Amino acid sequence: MEVKIIKASGTAGPQKPGPSEQKKLRVCAYCRVSTDSEEQETSYTAQITHYTNYINANPEWVFAGIYADEGLSGTSVRRREEFNRMIAACEAREVDMVITKSISRFARNTLDCLNYIRRLKALNIPILFEKESINTMDAVGEVLITILASIAQQESKSISDNVRMGIEFGFQEGRGILNYHNFLGYTGTGTPGELVVVPEQADLIRRIFREYLEGFSPYRIAARLEAEGAVTATGGNRWYNSTIVCILENEKYCGELLMQKYYTEDFLTHRLVKNTGQRPKYFVAEHHDPIVPKEIYYQVQGERNRRGALKLDPSRLRYGDRLALNGRLICGKCGRTYKRYVRSGTGKADWRCRRRAGVSKRESGAWSGCRCDARNVPESEAQAAVVEAFNQLPLYHQRLLEMQAELNDGQIRGLDTILREEADRQEVLEDRLEKLGDPMPDSDPPSADEAEALREELAQLEKRMEAHYASRAEYAWREIQVRLLLELAEQLLRPGETQAKEGPWPPACSNYEDFFRRTRYQIPQELLDRDGKIVRFNNDMVTRYLEKIVVEKQGYTICFKAGVNVKI
């Protein structure tokens, strides 16, 4: 078999255009700087000017535009709008060649760099890297680009590590990175890391904390604020449940600062991850002026935990406040909650024990099939009993004063003393353990039994302290409920008196007493008659003050959150 080679003639096909007929290349340039600093801004402007003049000076090129990203990292193309616009222009065949200063300006991510080089190469569009003198259409171009792009990526990682270390060193010295934008209640002073209170927004924050302690859910608080047209941090009027939760969880409102709650997982993706122990956190007490006292903030956190536990209790409905009697009307026989039914003929509402109503196993929990014979309750009757219980509060005024003194001067103060003593003992034990672990050169080595005994005592002490802290939180929650009910009883006891108009709030609200005095709840006038008696049922008042309503065989036991029980 013989193979003949037909040589190329060089004349077949379309003729190559002469110099006068040569099509001019449409050339664009890409520029980028990674920060908004003044020095980088000068570089950014210089790059644009340089490439505009450079392209226009070449008679074989046609200026196809400048694509420039300012203040953006090169490790990802996701937020680089101008870069993505340039790629789109290339794919639309509006550009024939791209010029950029260097590989690091084009991309610091090796994968992105090679991906977009190959995409443009497939379109027969070269990229000219001026600093490295590389044209991507050359045979050796991709090998060099791969090496140099990897170096640029590693350089970016090194810069990222240095920046992270600098930020953490700042955290160790108490210098926080604070976002002043869309921060309800605070604004910046111009000095990095400083916060100043915005008075009209601070009043809204105090209201949110107070209403949550009074029993309202985040969903209900958001709905009330939206209905009243309250302005959000962004200047709108739409409030969300998640917004209220974020406010309640934010330690900055009590003057404290917890840093590195989130961290950047990867310098390439810039994805923020919640810090649940992967990195150290840094806490600064009394960092700035508080909007709410610390006691209020930590009582809110305790109340959030209490409501969370209530949701897991199968004997109760989930926590809610949209229908005040729901979850609060309790059967005195079996302990189950009551369920609401509306009569089809009259439209009147009745409440029945869930076990009597014969609901499913899923709703009744441990229901074994036997039904409860507790009486049904007309809604109007239950509401009238609640109104009567509120009107009897003046009879409990002295008892509430005694309960408040007992909590403040008894349980809470006693626990505070115990906790201080236990904290001192804990410090002594930890010091002794540390000395045992690092004995003096001339002393005898510690025995294993002595060290183990200290560790055991320290473990027992920590368990006791944990129990005491839990009791302290429970007493504090009860004390705040006593205080709220006492305010209400005093209004009913002296209906003719009106609350004196308060002056402006101080810049920092760290006083526990002042917080309650200035945010005191006033009974709406439409609920009262001429004698100052409550005449109408109110869902909000039930949410604020009532723990539960126990349905007895004849009558009710109205249980207030403060621990006062009224028989009706």
Determine, yes or no, domain membership for 477. Answer: no
Q: Please indicate, yes or no, whether residues 117 and 199 belong to a single structural domain of this protein.
A: no
58-86: b or e for each residue (b if 16 or more CB lie within 10 Å)? eeebebbbbbbbbebbbbbbeebebbeeb
Identify the three-state secondary structure at position 309.
helix
- Tokens 């090129």 belong to which residue? 61
Nearest residue to 135 (alpha-carbon basis) of 181, 97, 167, 189: 97
Q: Please indicate, yes or no, whether residues 211 and 280 belong to a single structural domain of this protein.
A: yes
Q: Which amino acid is at 274?
A: K
> How far apart, in whole angstroms, are the C-alpha atoms of residue 338 and residue 355?
9
> How far apart, in whole angstroms, are the C-alpha atoms of residue 119 and residue 106?
14
Nearest residue to 324 (alpha-carbon basis) of 547, 100, 8, 93: 547
- Domain boundary (311, 326, 353) is at 311
Predicted confidence band of residue 551 (pLDDT cuts 50, 70, 90):
very high
The CATH number of whichever domain residue 280 belongs to comes to: 3.90.1750.20
State the pairing for strand pair 546-551/25-33. unpaired
Q: Please indicate, yes or no, whether residues 154 and 191 belong to a single structural domain of this protein.
A: no
Predicted confidence band of residue 141 (pLDDT cuts 50, 70, 90):
low
Determine, yes or no, domain membership for 493. Answer: no
Q: Please indicate, yes or no, whether residues 151 and 267 belong to a single structural domain of this protein.
A: no
Q: Tell me: the pLDDT tens digits for 14-31? A: 444 444 445 789 999 998
Total domains in the chain come to 2
Strand partners, 30: 67, 100
Q: Please indicate, yes or no, whether residues 92 and 210 belong to a single structural domain of this protein.
A: no
Which DSSP category does 70 fall into? E
Which DSSP category does 251 fall into? G
> How far apart, in whole angstroms, are the C-alpha atoms of residue 374 and residue 339?
13
Residue 242: give the domain boundaries: 186-311
Query: Is residue 245 over pLDDT 60?
Result: yes
Q: What is the mean pLDDT of residues 167-172?
A: 61
Q: Which residues contact 75 (CB under 8 A, 6 or more apart)?
A: 107, 108, 109, 153, 156, 267, 268, 270
User: What pLDDT was estimated at residue 16?
Assistant: 47
State the pairing for strand pair 377-378/127-129. unpaired
Nearest residue to 516 (alpha-carbon basis) of 487, 559, 550: 487
Q: With contact defined as beta carbons under 8 Å apart, do 239 and 222 qualify?
A: yes
User: What pLDDT was estimated at residue 12?
Assistant: 42
How far, CA to CA in Å, does 42 sit from each of 12, 46, 248, 256, 557? 53, 6, 43, 39, 76
Q: Please indicate, yes or no, whether residues 211 and 304 belong to a single structural domain of this protein.
A: yes
Q: Which of 7-21, 181-195, 340-354, 387-401 is predicted least confidently?
A: 7-21
Q: Which of 253-262, 347-356, 408-417, 499-508 is predicted least confidently?
A: 499-508
Nearest residue to 97 (alpha-carbon basis) of 68, 121, 81: 121
Q: Please indicate, yes or no, whether residues 190 and 107 belong to a single structural domain of this protein.
A: no
> How far apart, in whole angstroms, are the C-alpha atoms of residue 89 and residue 91?
5
Q: Tell me: the pLDDT tens digits for 452-478? A: 888 888 888 888 888 888 787 778 778
Determine, yes or no, domain membership for 436. Answer: no
Cβ atoms within 10 A of the Cβ of 370, count?
8
Query: Is residue 441 over pLDDT 60?
Result: no
Cβ atoms within 10 A of the Cβ of 235, count?
7
Q: Tell me: the pLDDT tens digits for 523-548? A: 888 888 888 889 989 888 888 889 89
Q: What is the mean pLDDT of residues 293-299?
A: 84
Q: What is the largest CA-CA distance in the chain?
A: 123
Q: Please indicate, yes or no, whether residues 230 and 100 belong to a single structural domain of this protein.
A: no
Q: Please indicate, yes or no, whether residues 196 and 145 belong to a single structural domain of this protein.
A: no
Q: What is the mean pLDDT of residues 71-99?
A: 83
Q: Which residues contact 273 (CB under 8 A, 6 or more apart)?
A: 262, 263, 264, 265
Nearest residue to 198 (alpha-carbon basis) of 183, 210, 209: 183
Q: Which amino acid is at 548?
A: K
Determine, yes or no, domain membership for 199. Answer: yes
Predicted confidence band of residue 200 (pLDDT cuts 50, 70, 90):
confident
Maximum mean pLDDT: which of 89-98, 332-341, 437-446: 89-98
The CATH number of whichever domain residue 73 belongs to comes to: 3.40.50.1390
Q: Which residues contact 49 (CB under 8 A, 6 or more apart)?
A: none
Q: Please indicate, yes or no, whether residues 140 and 192 belong to a single structural domain of this protein.
A: no
- Domain boundary (311, 344, 367) is at 311
Higher pLDDT, 385 or 355: 385
Higher pLDDT, 443 or 428: 428
User: What pLDDT was estimated at residue 26?
Assistant: 93
pTM: 0.57
Determine, yes or no, domain membership for 522. Answer: no
- Tokens 């509060």 belong to which residue? 393
Q: Which residues contact 78 (CB under 8 A, 6 or more apart)?
A: none
Query: Per the structure block, which two tokens stand in for 159?
Result: 């810069």
Determine, yes or no, domain membership for 552. Answer: no
Q: Please indicate, yes or no, whether residues 126 and 251 belong to a single structural domain of this protein.
A: no
- Domain boundary (125, 160, 195) is at 160
Determine, yes or no, domain membership for 50. Answer: yes
Q: What is the mean pLDDT of residues 299-306?
A: 81
User: What pLDDT was estimated at residue 442?
Assistant: 53
Concatenated DSSP letters of 358-387? T--HHHHSS--SPPP-PPPEEHHHHHHHHH
Determine, yes or no, domain membership for 491. Answer: no
